[in-house]
Amino acid sequence: MEARTFLISRTDSIGDVVLTIPLAGLIKKKYPNSKVIFLGRTYTKSVVECSEHIDGFMDWLIIEKQNFDDQLTMFRFEKIDVFIHVFPNKQIAKIASKAKIPIRIGTSHRPYNLLYCNKLVSLSRKNSELHEAVLNIKLLKPIGIEYAGISHDLKEYYGYSQIKPLEEKWLKLLSKDSKNIILHTKSKGSAREWGLDNFKKLIEISLEKGANVFLTGTEDEGQLFRAQLVHKHERLFDLSGKMNLEELISFISKADTLIAASTGPLHIAAATGITAIGIFPPIRPMHPGRWAPIGDKTKVFVLDKPNCNDCKDGSECKCMSSIKAEDIGRSIFNF
């Protein structure tokens, strides 16, 4: 299987995609002459292209708009030998099967995979104790790749050496003499949030310690936090809505620390090697045991509590909001 073409399919969000990238590194380690293609959505392309282990990107948002015959043609053109369905999708599974890709790997828990996949892995994510990245690797067993290590050690398989240079207009905002702290305050509803009151306190602590503070997010997210968090200060910068994802990745890689809930930018920060501080609820499957960032300089804050039953609904979480800004400040500035 030395010179085969592998396709990794993960068509969901940024954080999930980041935690899937180590599969490409493991494949390249086992089969160094192979080609690895990633099937994802347009908005994750910049995340994928940072990895030296991935040789091509197929955009599902473009492919899914084509008629079925054209979809088959696009898949056949890549001469894929092994198709790995990390994120289950019935339509994609059908195309891969009809395109007669020789090895098609999926979980045995999806009924349609019994029809469209010829290599099935018994894998249930819902009640697993394993980290998401380790669970992903289980799907590599049919091609002779197994992983007995811990999630932290997967950092070496990101291959994040292809980050684009940061433009001067952003580079000049970063201080050479003090810490550059990124606060990603919102999650677009994908995760429970720490709360703007806490971020406001952390901004005050960071500015008092002489750091540059950068607020990131989409324009819509900026509209949610600007009134409460943004004020005139020479070391406080509102970057929400001003960067595309490629620029944000480059900017994150040049900063010192990023603080966020369980969001894509948190996992990007960990992959780039900067300090990534994640704030999590104890509830399963949202807890850090499943979703902690993977990197050399990562830290998680989670309430020491067996579960989070007081706030099951909604993005605002009492278990998270009770984590003190002072404690996170101490972890950054060692005071």
Question: What percent of the chain has pLDDT above 90?
Answer: 85
pLDDT tens digits for 64-122? 999 999 999 999 999 999 999 999 999 999 999 999 999 999 999 899 999 999 999 99
Overall average pLDDT of the 190-213 stretch:
94
Buried b (16+ CB within 10 A) or exposed e, 168-178: eebeebbeeee
Other Cβ atoms within 10 Å of 240 Cβ, number = 24
Cis peptide before 293 (omega within 30 of 0): no
For residue 50, pLDDT beyond 80: yes
Does the pLDDT value for residue 258 go beyond 90? Answer: yes
Bridge partners (DSSP) listed for residue 9? 39, 85
What are 44's two structure tokens? 């994750």
Is the model's pLDDT at 38 over the cut of 60? yes
Which of the following CATH numbers is that of domain 5-157: 3.40.50.2000, 3.90.180.10, 3.90.1150.10, 3.30.465.10?
3.40.50.2000
User: Which CATH number is associated with domain 168-333?
Assistant: 3.40.50.2000
Block residue for tokens 């494949």:
27
pLDDT for 233 equals 95
Predicted pLDDT of residue 304: 79
Cα 137–93–141 angle (5° rounding)? 25
**pLDDT at residue 311, as a whole number:** 64
- Confidence grade of residue 26 (pLDDT, cut at 50, 70, 90): very high
* CATH 3.40.50.2000 domain range(s) in the chain: 5-157, 168-333
Tell me the percentage of the chain whose pLDDT exceeds 70. Answer: 96
pLDDT for 286 equals 85
